[in-house]
Amino acid sequence: MASQAQTAPGENQEMISGGHLVAKALKAEGVDVIFTLCGGHIIDIYDGCVDEGIDVIDVRHEQVAAHAADGYARITGKPGVAVVTAGPGTTDAVTGVANALRAESPMLLIGGQGALSQHKMGSLQDLPHVDMMNPITKFAATVPSTERAADLVSMAFRECFHGAPGPSFLEIPRDVLDAKVPLEKARIPSSGAYRASTRSAGDPAAIERLADLVVGAEKPCVLLGSQVWTTRGTEAATEFVRTLNVPAFMNGSGRGTLPPGDPHHLQLARRYAFQNADLIIIVGTPFDFRMGYGKRLSQDATVVQIDLDYRTVGKNRDVDLGIVGDAGLVLASVTQAASGRVDNGSVARKTWLEELRAVETQAYEKRLPRQLSDASPIDPYRLVHEINEFLTEDSVYIGDGGDIVTFSGQVVQPKSPGHWMDPGPLGTLGVGVPFVMAAKYARPDKEVVALFGDGAFSLTGFDFETLVRFNLPFVGIVGNNSSMNQIRYGQIQKYGADRGRVGNTLGDIRYSEFAKMLGGYGEEVRDPKDIRPALERARESGLPSLINVWVDPEVYAPGTMNQTMYK
Ligand SMILES: Cc1ncc(C[n+]2csc(CCOP(=O)(O)OP(=O)(O)O)c2C)c(N)n1
Ligand SMILES: [Mg+2]
């Protein structure tokens, strides 16, 4: 506290400030970067980062800092950290924190705060941050004294990993942050010594029961959700589906668990499988709107749900068996338990796999002409088809937009696990540029490819400049329809063509010029045959890039036309 700052240090007594203690706690957690936008309330943290060798990536909007922290957590498995100033700095970051909550992403937001000595006096940028953050974090607190700065940071990290991961928030009053206290009086948790693994293998009796169910099932299927990636359970999930011959669907960050072309990898036959299966195993994804709140699963099927969070299991829909635990550990245990049987039933499931494969192939072939369409304006299916073909095993794919990203969700298949990033169930537009920043910073060895709607890009697009400034090249594509098309479709349906044009029209913007203006690479594409060469040149440029592809605004994705997201 301020009074402690005035305490005269004894001779030879080493003193340390709050900002330096924060940096030590970040270092202990293995954090190597903070995403931030500066403000007088937080500068001492930067000074601490200089001492600890933590990189400081300064952005142009705090929402970007928070989304980048979320993205960093997803890519690395370590908590992402954003540092923002008091008041508007913190309110600007709210969306990023909220997105991380729904996406179960472990990030820490540190916000400045007016001095404790001026508490409730109307200091610059004073707001009740902790009250604001409480409903959208797993933990939100004020750092009450300088000595506790590192301690509170470690406490916040501990909370990030309780159950399904999520965000924490700390506000640090300016006098608390700036004050210097004797080093020996501060609690500085040591790396690896202040929190335990929270991984749980589930109830052994439930594991046995699930093994029995799988062994006895004729038509099982599994949905591998985001937590398969969160728990780094890729290998266990792959072994589970292969050993027990269970067809698999993937969603969210779970996409890419199996590579495209894998015999157990299915995508388009999902509705059919959920209607016709006798056993459905849902791993690490809630029965939310993406799952029709569980209503799209056959009433006759045995339903099993595995999740890190007990609150998710059985929510919105009854389950026959629920297991709270780590996706990877649980699946590995089930494989082991089932493999001990004389016959694990895998041979009997061959016909079921063939049945699903036939449905999958038929759906694929029906759509293929659209994916190869030569139409101009360009059919969005053609654009996402070209992107899918362009991706390599080392391309991290990011989708940020409405209708155009709905198209890509059907067609783009990441080639490796952890190589798919979407906002998650909050559906936040604007995550694209910050996710690029986090992914390319954390994995410079990877190529990052991002598809934006023109509306989505404009929310956080100015941070393209930050990508240039920090030399974070990526291949960016804008699917430009000069509209907020996903919303426009619903308006036209409800209010007719004329009234359907209200509040959703964007200008005809040449985003390639925008990219060039900021020091990146850009091209305009109007002819479908030019998409691939333009993508190749963007790849070769070694710069942050935007290929602005003019797509047909009168063509909508089936998901948008069914308005499935509201049902
Ligand atoms: C931050 C935020 N604001 C508004 C929305 C509502 N919304 C969903 S899709 C959409 C249109 C997005 O337009 P664009 O990115 O150009 O994609 P398009 O649908 O045109 O392909 C909007 C505004 C949202 N999901 N997130
Ligand atoms: Mg658009």
DSSP per residue, 364-411: HHHHHHHHT---SSBPHHHHHHHHHHH--TTEEEEEESSHHHHHHHHH
pLDDT band at 559 (very low <50, low <70, confident <90, very high): confident
Long-range contacts from 367-372, C-beta under 8 angstroms, 24+ separation: 367/410, 367/411, 371/411
Does the pLDDT at position 5 exceed 80?
no
Confidence of residue 562 (pLDDT cuts 50, 70, 90): confident
Ligand that lies nearest to the alpha carbon of residue 457, given by its number in the listed order: 1
Residue 195's identity, in one-letter code, is R
> How confident is the model over 326-330, as a mean pLDDT?
98
Probe ligand 1: pick from 64, 400, 403, 501, max atoms within 8 Å of CB?
A: 403
Length of the chain as a residue count? 567
d(CA 404, CA 381): 9
pLDDT over threshold 50, residue 3: no
Average pLDDT over residues 300-320: 97
Chain-centroid distance, C-alpha 478: 20
First to last CA, the chain: 52
Residue 2 scores a pLDDT above 70: no
Q: b vs e for 46-62, b when ≥16 Cβ sit within 10 Å of the residue's Cβ?
A: bebbeebebeebebbbb
Q: What is residue 300's three-state secondary structure? A: coil
Banded pLDDT at 345 (limits 50, 70, 90): confident
Contact 180, 243 (CB under 8 A): no
Residues whose CB is less than 8 angstroms from the CB of residue 398 and which lie 6 or more positions away in sequence, other chains included:
421, 422, 431, 432, 435, 436, 439, 448, 449, 450, 451
User: Which tens digits make up the pLDDT trace of 396-430?
Assistant: 999 999 999 999 999 999 999 999 999 999 999 99
DSSP state of 346: T
Beta bridge partners of 450: 398, 476
Answer yes or no: is pLDDT of 138 > 60. Answer: yes
Q: Per-residue pLDDT tens for 485-509? A: 999 999 999 999 999 999 999 999 9
Closest of 476, 488, 508 to residue 390, by C-alpha: 476
Q: Which of 410, 485, 566 to mutate to test the pocket of ligand 1 (most atoms within 8 A of CB)?
A: 485
* φ, ψ for residue 147, nearest 5 deg: -60, -25
Q: What is the mean pLDDT of residues 201-211?
A: 97
Ligand nearest to the CA of 481: 2
Lowest-pLDDT range, 119-133, 183-197, 336-350, 354-368? 336-350
Q: Which domains does the chain have, with CATH numbers?
A: 15-185 (3.40.50.970), 204-358 (3.40.50.1220), 373-566 (3.40.50.970)
> What is each CA distance from 168 to 31, 74, 558, in whole angstroms?
15, 15, 37
- Structural element, H or E, at residue 266: none
Instruction: Give the Cα separation of 82 and 64 in Å (integer).
Output: 9
Spatial contact of 116 and 154, defined as CB atoms under 8 Å apart? no
Token pair belonging to 218: 């004729």
β-strands 302-307, 321-324 pairing = parallel
- Contacts (Cβ under 8 Å, ≥6 apart) of 34: 26, 45, 49, 54, 55, 56, 57, 81, 82, 83
* Ligand 1 atom at shortest distance from the alpha carbon of 481: 20
Measured from CB, residues less than 6 Å from any atom of ligand 1 are 401-404, 427-430, 453-456, 479, 481, 483-487
Is 24 within 8 Å of 181 (Cβ atoms)? no
Residue 1 has pLDDT above 80, yes or no: no
Atom of ligand 1 nearest to the CA of 479: 21
**Pocket test residue of 486, 546, 565 for ligand 1, highest count of atoms within 8 A of CB:** 486
- 210: its two tokens: 């699930």
Omega of the bond leading into 377 within 30 degrees of 0 (cis): yes
Q: Kindly indicate the confidence band of residue 8, based on its pLDDT and cuts at 50, 70 and 90.
A: low
Q: Which residues contact 540 (CB under 8 A, 6 or more apart)?
A: none
Say which range, 116-120, 193-197, 345-349, has the weakest mean pLDDT. Answer: 345-349
**What's the pLDDT score for residue 12?**
76
Residue 9: band (very low, low, confident or very high) from pLDDT cuts 50, 70, 90: low
Angle (deg, nearest 10), helices 327-339 and 234-244: 30
Averaged pLDDT, 18-47: 98
Query: Would you say 106 and 167 are in contact if contact means Cβ atoms under 8 Å apart?
Result: yes
| Per-residue pLDDT, 496 | 96
Phi, psi of 366 (to 5 degrees): -65, -35
Residue 453 CA to ligand 1 centre (angstroms): 8
Strand duo 33-36 + 15-17: pairing: unpaired
Q: Taking the CB of residue 540, how many other CB atoms lie within 10 A of it? A: 11
Q: For residues 550 and 339, which has the higher predicted lDDT (pLDDT)?
A: 550
| Distance from Cα 402 to the centre of ligand 2, integer Å | 7
What token pair was written down for 413?
Answer: 């298949």
The closest-lying atom of ligand 1 relative to the alpha carbon of residue 483 is: 20
pTM for the structure as a whole? 0.96
What's the chain's Rg over C-alpha atoms? 25
E-only strand ranges, 408-503: 420-421, 447-453, 475-480
Show the tokens assigned to 548.
């602005």
The whole-chain average pLDDT of the chain stands at 96
